[in-house]
Amino acid sequence: MKQALQRVAYSSVYMATYAISLLPMGFLYAMASFTFFLVYHVIGYRKVIVFQNVARSFPEKRYGEVHAIVKKFYACFVAYFAEIVKSVSAPAEVLDKKIRFENLELIDQYINSGRNVIACLGHCGNWEMLNFMPYKIRHEVYAVYKPLRSGTMNKLMIKLRSRFGMKLLADSAIVRHVLSKSSSPAVYLFLADQCPRIKEEKYSFTLLNQETYVFSGMEKLARTARTAVVYLHITQLSKGSYKIACLPVCANAAFTNDGEITQKYIDLLTENIREEPYGWLWTHKRWKK
């Protein structure tokens, strides 16, 4: 009975999302603007956290500059949701004009040499647009994710993210999967800028002027599996249009020193955030520890 109810709930939510996605983009952006008014001016969703995060990350900026970043962040944040909804039904040809990938040849080079590729990135810009990546390359692309508690929402997330061939892989299964796939290399996407539950002193780095604990799993897996590592630099070209540049981190992680890959990741993430400070996910309690 429970499974039947979950199937009904999933089908209902998906059909509703799909129906909304058929609305004109202008109308969806208008809905996003109204949502911005509610979230920013009325509810003030995590506003104190966002102001603190931005101010501490850019101590050189005056209050007016910090306020401008925060306000633009909220405006972009709600617009991202409108774009994600639209991508549920938007033709591939339309998305192909909106999402520009650069230097994917680097991934081809690594995989053709027989190595898996770990593609690390941060919560910059509309990172969900990376679901379109399998459409652009001929290799398998896996996104590492943490399963949601709600079976209905977890199934919906997998459905939406796999539309163009993205394969979702639970974080608990990633190590075994990568080590067993050495004979058929693939690309693995890691969002590695959230706060880890367990603090590791040697994986403490300086990010945006603050001591920051970073997930060690991405680097440990890369070194153990001898993978190549790249960084995906996401920037917004215009409203609804994004550029995703593939930047080299290392050709073979086995030949790097402990902490070297993570430090390079932090450096590239910092550059990404400083280029578009309003694009990062400031609502996250990144420095709560």
> What per-residue confidence (pLDDT) applies to 1?
67
> What per-residue confidence (pLDDT) applies to 179?
87
Q: Select from 157, 153, 164 the least CA-distant residue to 130.
A: 164
> What per-residue confidence (pLDDT) applies to 289?
61
What's the whole-model pTM score? 0.94
> What per-residue confidence (pLDDT) applies to 18?
95
> What per-residue confidence (pLDDT) applies to 43?
95
CA distance 276 to 124: 8
pLDDT per residue as tens, the chain (289 positions): 667 777 778 888 899 999 999 999 999 999 999 999 999 999 999 999 999 999 999 999 999 999 999 999 999 999 999 999 999 999 999 999 999 999 999 999 999 999 999 999 999 999 999 999 999 999 999 999 888 888 788 888 899 899 999 999 998 899 999 988 766 899 999 998 988 776 666 678 999 999 998 888 899 999 999 999 999 999 999 999 999 999 999 999 999 999 999 999 999 999 999 999 999 999 988 887 6
